[in-house]
Amino acid sequence: MSTVVLLAGSPSPQSKSSLLLKRASQVLSGFGIQTRHFQLCDFPPADLIEARWDSPAIKALIDALGASDGLILSTPVYKAAYSGALKTVLDLLPERALEHKAALALVTGGSPAHLLAVDYALQPVLSALKARHIVGGVYASERDFVTDEQGRATPGDAIVQRLDDAVGRLIAHLPNPGNVLLQAGQLEQRVSHALISV
Ligand SMILES: Cc1cc2nc3c(=O)[nH]c(=O)nc-3n(C[C@H](O)[C@H](O)[C@H](O)COP(=O)(O)O)c2cc1C
């Protein structure tokens, strides 16, 4: 049985990037893949700001990653990169925290202009953590979400499709897919659609 760690990197309680992560979690569950969820508020701010390497909360994340096959992280674009709070968490991970694992980044930005943040900001940090496979990430801007009369945002159909495809690529790259059931040819198709593999 595969396990994937989900790390939500937005400080916002009404987070659009976390909505993408929630959808990814549903897709993984649909394939029988276990998930472990972490968000910024799981980590005491003092542990992050003072870079406490012995933080129990960080140790829980490290242990979960160690027992997992992959990581999906979500983050807003902040100042053309990812959230600084997420960086303080990632900085406390060991250098090889993602060794042998597949990784996927889900990013939301106010405009489509910072689409490339997925490649120039997220991909290097996932590489630095030695991820085996970094599958092509997903970037959604404001216009990819539908807002209802109460002001609640949900991902639109097009972004949901791109997200599902990306999670499929991640599943295809899990080192230990276990008893994940894929129809004939589906796995190969997903591998061939993977955009980045290191
Ligand atoms: C401090 C801050 C910096 C931001 N910088 C950018 C930016 O450089 N480019 C951009 O497209 N959007 C930027 N945004 C907009 C957010 O990326 C966007 O609203 C995103 O969907 C928020 O995701 P979240 O709801 O998961 O926090 C910024 C927002 C904040 C609060």
In this structure, the strands spanning 34-39 and 81-82 are unpaired
Query: Whats the size of the chain, residue-wise?
Result: 198
Low-confidence ranges of the chain (pLDDT < 70): 176-198
- pLDDT confidence of residue 175: 77
| DSSP 8-class letter at 97 | T
Residue 33 contacts residue 66 (beta carbons within 8 Å): no
Torsion-angle region of 30 (φ positive above 0: left; ψ -120 to 50: alpha; else: beta): alpha
- pLDDT confidence of residue 178: 54
Dist CA 117 CA 112 (whole Å) = 10
Is 76 near ligand 1, meaning CB less than 6 Å away? Answer: yes
- Which ligand 1 atom is at minimum distance from the Cα of 111? 11
Q: Where are the domains of the chain?
A: 3-193
- pLDDT confidence of residue 1: 83
Superfamily of domain 3-193: Flavodoxin domain (3.40.50.360)
Residue with tokens 């990819």: 144
Mutate to test the pocket of ligand 1, among 78, 82, 122 (most ligand atoms within 8 A of CB): 78
Residue with tokens 């970037």: 139
In this structure, the strands spanning 102-109 and 133-134 are parallel
Residue 120 contacts residue 152 (beta carbons within 8 Å): no
Is 15 near ligand 1, meaning CB less than 6 Å away? Answer: yes
Residue 75 contacts residue 105 (beta carbons within 8 Å): yes
Mutate to test the pocket of ligand 1, among 77, 107, 108, 139 (most ligand atoms within 8 A of CB): 77
